[in-house]
Structure 1
Amino acid sequence: MLDATNRSGGTATASPRAAATELAAAVPTAAADPPLTRARFAARCTRALLSPWSRLSLLLTLLAAAAASVLLFEPQRLLTHGWPPQLGGVTAATVFAVAYALCTVAFVPRPLLNLAAGALFGSELGLGTALVGSVLGAAIAFGLGRMLGQDALRPLLRGRWLRAADGQLSRHGFRSMMAARLFPGVPFWAANYCAAVSRMGWLPFLLATALGSVPNTAAYVVAGARASAPTSPAFLIAMACIAVPALAGAVVAWRKRHHLRPR
């Protein structure tokens, strides 16, 4: 009679077993809920830490720490105090090349480092050490900028000149970087990080850095090696050669200026 009444009234009453099954399906068990919550929380934290802006913040923190370390340890004292006496030969050159690379990442001007290389190791070994340090430092800066800063900074390239410069670096990476290395007015670290934000490949970047850094680096290294005799022909020629890359870079920039115009 109850069943008949329920059917006739239009209201069906679920059995106790069916009600318990529905309640169990609607409310997760206490044993299964915490792992699911922890997994979602871990996934959200991972996405936040790997987001473009988080990686850019890490890059800026690393660069700020590197710059602070340079101010604290003052590597320019090598020019006045000399290299530690316990290091010599190939070991000293290797340590100096690594320190050179790290200093370029930390915004230390390369002319100062090149003068130090010439004063400490002479013309031949100093030039080789400075070039190895230049390429290594450029590779470190390029890798950091590419991994930590590119995804966050590329959407900001909205200005006409920024887009034109990015297109020039991306399409003509080797020529653009060669001109930047030959032209002393372009800071070494700025060229590294601008190339990292662009679509330039690793091989054109490193090859142009190695070749384009030779003239200017050689001039400063020879000047540092002959600094004790400022009237010597080698010193005077080296100082004169410092102006040649600047002139060559200015000519290339003038001839290629139309490529930077927005289309």
Structure 2
Amino acid sequence: MLDATTRSGGTATATPPAAATELASTPLPTGRPALAGPAAVPAAPPRWARALLSPWFRLSLLVALLAGAAGCVLAFEPQRLLSDGWPAQLNGAAAAVVFAVAYGLCTVAFVPRPLLNLAAGALFGSQLGLGAAIAGTVLGAGVSFGLGRVLGQDALRPLLRARFLKAADGQLSRHGFRSMLAVRLFPGIPFAAANYCAAISRMSWPSFLLATGLGSIPNTAAYVVAGARASTPTSPVFLVAMGFIAVPGLIGAVVAWRKRHHLRGR
């Protein structure tokens, strides 16, 4: 039985079945490139991964880290440095470096900076103590700023709806260096609160760190000198240091009172 025939000049020619199958399966040229298949769609991350990356999970992690740090401070009581002194095996510049690192970590855990500054002066004297205290201040502020920026900014920025919060955020975002410099010069604003408020804003890292380092010098120096001269509380140097502690706080309170309308957005 013939599967296909062709006629040429009245003569019938049979085409074998295999050849007919091959001809039927050969695509005809169309002059157009073959259409590519659909692009591969990347698989969506699993639900647990989305939960771990969510802003609110990161904010919860930040709260847990800060609570754990505060618990460690309560357990180890770093304020004992003022009464027990620095370990005898650590001295000189190496001891100041270790103290600066410990200072920074303690500020992240909400240890009051005045206490740490007094300890720096009592342990290392005015000059070396001031260097260690400023280094620790910048380190602790940078760690707090980084934690707030990475773990808290995405969750908290949508909550800045009150007029006061919007005004403060706009001031920090547009005039980061001078705003943070003013905050550091006047000690009325808590150190940790300023760090995390700046992290939630759009202030840049260099502006924050530079303003923190420069603005913290006067108040830190006053506490360090007071700590170094605590054994002679009636000396002129100690009394001048105490005056530098009290006067900026008073000036900061007056400026904040006069600028309260601007912070409310009026």
Distance of 1:103 and 1:157 partners within structure 2: 29
Tell me if 1:52 matches 2:86: no
TM-score, L = length of structure 2: 0.81
Distance of 1:234 and 1:51 partners within structure 2: 53
Runs of 4+ in 1 over 6 A off after TM superposition: none
Give 1:251 deviation, angstroms. Answer: 5.0
Question: Out of 218, 221, 235, which is 1:232 matched to?
Answer: 235
Give 1:261 deviation, angstroms. Answer: 2.9
Tell me if 1:125 matches 2:128: yes
Q: Deviations over 1:17-75 (max 9, x none)?
A: xxxxxxxxxxxxxxxxxxxxxx9795322111011001001100100000000000000
Partner in structure 2 of residue 184 of structure 1: 187
Quote the RMSD (CA, aligned, Å). 1.6
Describe how 1:1-263 pairs up with structure 2 within 5 A: 43-254=46-257, 256-262=259-265
Number of residue pairs matched by the alignment = 225
Structure 2 SS opposite 1:53: helix
Give 1:247 deviation, angstroms. Answer: 3.7
Q: Counterpart amino acid of 2:156?
A: L
Q: Counterpart amino acid of 2:135?
A: V
Contact 1:100 1:133 (C-alpha < 8 Å) held by counterparts: yes
Q: Deviations over 1:149-171 (max 9, x none)?
A: 00001111111111111111111
Deviates more, 1:82-91 or 1:125-134: 82-91
Contact 1:168 1:259 (C-alpha < 8 Å) held by counterparts: no
Distance of 2:44 and 2:90 partners within structure 1: 51
Structure index of larger Rg: 2
Q: Counterpart amino acid of 1:225?
A: A
Structure 2 SS opposite 1:69: helix
- Structure 2, unaligned stretches of length 5 or more? 1-41
Distance of 1:257 and 1:187 partners within structure 2: 17
- Structure 1, unaligned stretches of length 5 or more? 1-38
Contact 1:96 1:129 (C-alpha < 8 Å) held by counterparts: yes
Contact 2:188 2:253 (C-alpha < 8 Å) held by counterparts: no
Q: % of aligned pairs identical? A: 77
Pick the structure with more helix per residue: 1
Distance of 2:262 and 2:209 partners within structure 1: 23
Q: Counterpart amino acid of 2:163?
A: R
